[in-house]
Amino acid sequence: MTIATMTTRGTTTARTADLTGIGERFGLYRALSGDPVTAEQLAGRTYTDVHFIKAWLEQQVHEGFVAYDAATCRYANYCNWPRN
C-alpha cells in the first residue's frame, strides 16, 4: 500500500465520520426514518439548505448509508426502504 493510498483512505474515513456526525447533529437520519423523501422534503423537515442536503445525500448514498431511487428521486434509510 502506498502513502497516497493510505492518505486517501484516511481522508475519506475522516470525511465520512464528519458527515455522519452532521447527519446525527441535524437530525437527518431521524428525518429519513419514515417514507422515502426527496432532497427538498428532507431539507424542509430539518430546516436546512437544500444544496447542503443534496451534497450530504450524495455522499451518504456513495458510502451505502442511504438508499436512492433514481426513478422517483427519493432517498430513505436502508432499514426503511420499501420492500416489494
3-state SS, the chain, equals CCHHHHHHHHHHHHHHHHHHHHHHHCCHHHHCCCCCECHHHHHHHHCCCHHHHHHHHHHHHHHCCEEEECCCCEEEEHHHCCCC
What pTM, to 2 d.p., does this model score? 0.74
- Helix axis angle for 3-25 and 50-63, nearest 10°, is 130
pLDDT at 77: 86
Name which CATH class applies to 3-80: mainly alpha
Which tens digits make up the pLDDT trace of 19-67? Answer: 677 888 889 999 998 899 999 999 999 999 999 999 999 999 998 889 9
